[in-house]
Amino acid sequence: MPANVPSTPPGGQPHQHPDQIWSELELQRAGDRVVLARFALPGLIVDEHMNVLQVRGQTSAYIELASGTVSWNLLRVVREGIAATVRDAADRSRIHRRREKQAGPDRGAAAFAASFQ
């Protein structure tokens, strides 16, 4: 069993026998967590005001906090040089309600996508 998956299901007793059978749903959720942690692209969840609500994965290629008072507005935390591109993609995605893809920053990071639901 991978190291990321505990030997007992969520809510299980910590001293239960390690051969305990997981429910189908618990096993699926644990598998999803492992796959997302290893293979999912980094991402941010932002609100309608472009404030960052949650972070997923390794976002350091895109996000950098400046010294001083912290702002969680996407356009203030996105790395210099890609803010205008991120803003434009986010605006197009929000207006047209579709996913927008952009080329990654010059330092070779993966491309990013904006998607508003």
Q: How far apart are CA 109 and CA 58, in angstroms?
A: 11
Q: pLDDT tens digits for 23-68?
A: 888 989 999 888 888 888 788 888 888 899 988 888 888 889 888 9
Give how many domains the chain has, as a whole number. 1
Enclosing domain of residue 102: 43-114
CA distance 79 to 58: 14
Q: What is the pLDDT of residue 72?
A: 92
Residue 86 lies in a domain: yes
Query: How confident is the model over 75-115, as pLDDT tens digits?
Result: 999 988 888 888 888 888 888 877 777 665 554 444 566 66
Report if residue 38 sits inside a domain. Answer: no
> What is the model's pLDDT at position 73?
93
- Whether the predicted pLDDT of 13 surpasses 90: no
pTM of the model: 0.59
